[in-house]
Chains A and B, each alone.
Chain A
Amino acid sequence: MPSAIRPATPTTGITKLTNCRLVRGDSLVNGDIWVSSRTGKIVQSQRAFYDELIVPDETIDLGGRIVSPGLIDCQLNGAFGFNFSTLLDDTTQYGKKVKEVNKLMVQTGVTSYLPTVTSQTSELYHAVLPYLGPSGQQRLSADGAEVLGAHVEGPFLSPTKNGIHKVDVLVEAHSFGDLEAMYGQENITPGSDKPMPIKMITAAPERGAMTSLIPEITRRGIIYSIGHSEATFEEASAAVSQGATMITHLFNAMRPLHHRNPGVFGVLGKAESHEQPYFGVISDGIHLHPTTVKIAWNAHPEGFILVTDAMHLVGLPDGAYQWRNGEDIDHIVKKGSVLLLEGSDKIAGSSITLIECVNNFLNWSGTSIPQALKAVTATPAAMLGIQDTKGTLEAGADADLVIFSEERTESGLKLVVDEVWKFGARVH
């Protein structure tokens, strides 16, 4: 029968984005990308066409704009007025607050992140960590940004590199039992029914028996990150060979690079004995000098991860804000994007968004757009061991996308978040 078949009327949940510049590795490639809101994944279009005889429900012409994997922030202390290190009288409210943050967070282009809890008492960890476990099992676009698990920054830190963390709550661990007691056993033990809340631990390897505990931490699927540490180059190298794969905010809260002992920074140097670790860098223009950021990038571009270390004050007006720090209530003074601990000149985290970090880095380093975006997509995904599902536009990965337009400003090129897609549906 000579009959052409009309495009199928039943919906497939598939959207084709055409006329895109796709971030693929270190280049921008002209092409199309198919995403499915049914599976929440990026579709292997050729296979869908020939095998399932599928045509997209909708084709959207992006007019040559950039399509990047959704951004991943590995260190976010809070946002939109909510601090993850908060003990609420009614703990059920905590989960609600996290959900609110997720919905707002996604609008900034961050589609997944690690909510970060600073050095606190055991009581707070026990109370909040159950609410900070991975949130993406349902694969619901409407949930907004996805929590990949908690980053506990402390309290096994060096009292002399505490930054703004309260020295009183900093402790040493001598056995894995100390970690279980601190965070709550169920929060640090992989279970069968629910994903384990903790995804990353920042700790000073030279404190207590920490270095010897690293293998057990990583065995449980948790990333061990060196940070807030007095570690010498030798101590840092030992931690890396025990399984440390990350460094928390490189240069900040650690010994400066010394020509006779390069300290933690030294492990970024190529060595046959161990893999070079990943490292977080805050490119807010306050924590680090632009040149320092460039040096870090040049030392090991494949390990370079941009993080915000942002506090919950992002987007709030200037002034002094209450902040629970350990057992005390302190105040953080916000002046523009600068956050200082009241009565000191200590930097109290940042109030920058991740895309602003990318834009700063783009202009300081003169690197290409895909390379800059890699520092908030493919590299953090690889660090977290989720490179097949996040931080990539390959078929089969989660369809978390950010669509950028470019703006020329006085300070140079700027990427602007136009659209955000989560699990195959547009959410912003």
Chain B
Amino acid sequence: MRLIIRDDSDAASAYVANYIVDRIKHFAPTPAHPFVLGLPTGSSPLGVYRKLVEKYKAGEVSFENVITFNMDEYIGIPRDHPESYHSFMWKNFFSHVNIHPRNVNILNGNAPNLEAECVEYEAKIKRVGGIDLFLAGIGEDGHIAFNEPGSSLASRTRVKTLAYDTILANSRFFGHDLEKVPKMALTVGVQTVLEAREVVVIILGARKALALQRCIEQGVNHMWTLSSLQLHPHPMIVCDEDATLELQVKTVKYFKSIEKVALAQGFEQILPSKIRTGPAPETVIQAPREVEEAQSPTIVAPQPTTSRLLKASTPAAEYPVRSVSPDADLVPDRMASRIPDPSLTQRLTPGPEQSGHRVGAVGA
């Protein structure tokens, strides 16, 4: 787990936006090799969207070859209702950047068959090769997407009845009329989020402080669904100072010191380069990648491993974790020697047959 703490919400949002832009640029997406981005709605990511738009307008990033999947959508309000998540995304992000509508995926809360819609959504994610980076926010009760307390941590995209508290909280967007607030939503599951190759969560403000504390200082618990992030190999939480109010001082100090050391050592990027450039066909990418890696130091260890719990239900097998680092001498020794994890010697994914499949798929 990486926890990045910034003085205020602006700085935290800027950090996330910069991070996403760096990830996309390093990934160098093409039509055949798109970057797949998971996206949230709500107040927390607003600053991130604003900054992403600024960067697009400044010519720093293109979304031409980015595919997006949104987390959730209400059931039973018109798609173009001002409070729908389609409207939110259009207003705050899509209308300002060069993303193509065919690459935008949002659950259809007015689909004739909602269950089929959910199944198809999961299938669609699979068809594009999985999500490279899932950006998320959380609720005050630590819920991620509409996976409210008690949601199964193995849940997938499905129809969800909203908690009364959520309906109450949402009523401010519907003229404080509970009758008008949607009572159900479609949402990706906890498992859907965890299957992304990387998860970045932005948490802002004192109201989210308890949730943050429960999710990182305590155990994995379905009452705080974000805590499932502890099972993910590449999670990152970015928060402002206010959101750390419930954390122990030593937790805050610990994460701050890690960031400081990492910076001093000349790297910020914790991801294995396989994930940074995406699961593209080896043959195409191998040659240029060596050059890239020589320029950008990559941490070799601690190499994240996936928990058995997740492994059992298959997704872990889909994380492409690089087996050997070709540029060991660029990585600080002490960090590298920390974990002599046996799993690192095994290639987890993609297996040769999977790579082969991909090559075929791209050509199709």
Contact = CB atoms under 8 A, between A and B. Distances in A.
Contacts of A44: 80
A4 B101 contact: no
A3 B101 contact: no
Interface string A36-80: 000000001111011001110000000000000000000000000
B152 interface: no
A3 B95 contact: no
A5 B31 contact: yes
A7 B98 contact: yes
A419 interface: no
B64 A1 contact: no
B254 interface: no
B96 to A, nearest CB: 8
A324 to B, nearest CB: 54
Given A50-B79, A50-B86, A50-B90, A4 B98 contact: no
Nearest to B358: A2
Interface residues of A, number: 19
A1 B123 CA distance: 11
A1 B364 contact: yes
Contacts of B103: 4-5
Nearest to B91: A46
B100 A6 contact: yes
B100 A46 contact: no
Contact of A4 (B80, B94, B96, B100): B100
Contacts of B45: none
Contacts of A8: 100
A44 B94 CA distance: 14
A53 B105 CA distance: 12
Interface string B16-36: 000000000000011111101
Interface in B114-139: 127-129
A275 interface: no
Nearest to A19: B57
B111 interface: no
Contacts of B321: none
Contact of A7 (B64, B86, B91, B362): B64
Contacts of A32: 95-96
Pick the most buried of B66, B86, B90, B102: most chain A CB atoms within 10 A of its CB.
B102
B187 interface: no
B101 A2 contact: no
A18 B97 CA distance: 11
B361 interface: yes
Nearest to B63: A4
B127 A5 contact: no
A45 B95 contact: yes
A29 to B, nearest CB: 12
A3 B36 CA distance: 10
B67 interface: yes
Contacts of B170: none
Interface in B52-88: 64-67, 79-80, 86-87
Interface string B203-234: 00000000000000000000000000000000
Contact of A53 (B91, B102, B362): B102
Contacts of B102: 5, 53
Contacts of B129: 2
B64 A46 contact: no
A6 B127 contact: no
Nearest to A8: B100
Nearest to A61: B57
B101 A50 contact: yes
Contacts of A2: 32-34, 36, 67, 127-129, 358, 361-362
B130 to A, nearest CB: 9
Contacts of B65: 4
Contacts of B66: 4
Contact of B64 (A6, A45, A53): A6
A50 B107 CA distance: 12
Contacts of A4: 29-31, 34, 64-67, 100, 103
A53 B31 contact: no
B34 A46 contact: no
A49 B32 contact: no
A46 B81 CA distance: 11
Nearest to B130: A2
B192 to A, nearest CB: 17
Nearest to A4: B34
B95 A46 contact: yes
B127 A1 contact: yes
A32 B90 CA distance: 12
B320 to A, nearest CB: 13
B255 to A, nearest CB: 34
Contacts of B90: 45-46, 49-50
A53 B128 contact: no
Nearest to B364: A1
Interface in B308-364: 358, 361-362, 364
A54 B95 CA distance: 11
B101 A54 contact: yes
Interface in B181-210: none
Nearest to B129: A2
Contacts of A1: 127-128, 361-362, 364
A163 B351 CA distance: 92
Contacts of B127: 1-2
A45 B95 CA distance: 8
A32 B362 CA distance: 36
Nearest to B79: A50
B95 A55 contact: no
A124 to B, nearest CB: 51
Contacts of B94: 49
Pick the most buried of B90, B94, B100, B104: most chain A CB atoms within 10 A of its CB.
B100
Nearest to B94: A49
A167 B106 CA distance: 70
B101 A55 contact: yes
Interface string A1-33: 111111110000000001000000000000010
Interface of A: 1-8, 18, 32, 44-47, 49-50, 53-55
Given A3-B31, A45-B90, A46-B86, 10 more contacts: A1-B364, A4-B29, A4-B34, A4-B103, A5-B102, A6-B31, A32-B95, A45-B95, A46-B91, A50-B90
18 contacts: A2-B33, A2-B34, A2-B127, A3-B31, A4-B66, A4-B67, A4-B100, A5-B31, A5-B103, A7-B100, A8-B100, A32-B95, A32-B96, A45-B90, A49-B90, A50-B104, A55-B98, A55-B101
Top 8 A-B pairs, shortest CB-CB distance: A4-B34, A2-B129, A5-B102, A53-B101, A4-B65, A46-B90, A2-B128, A49-B101
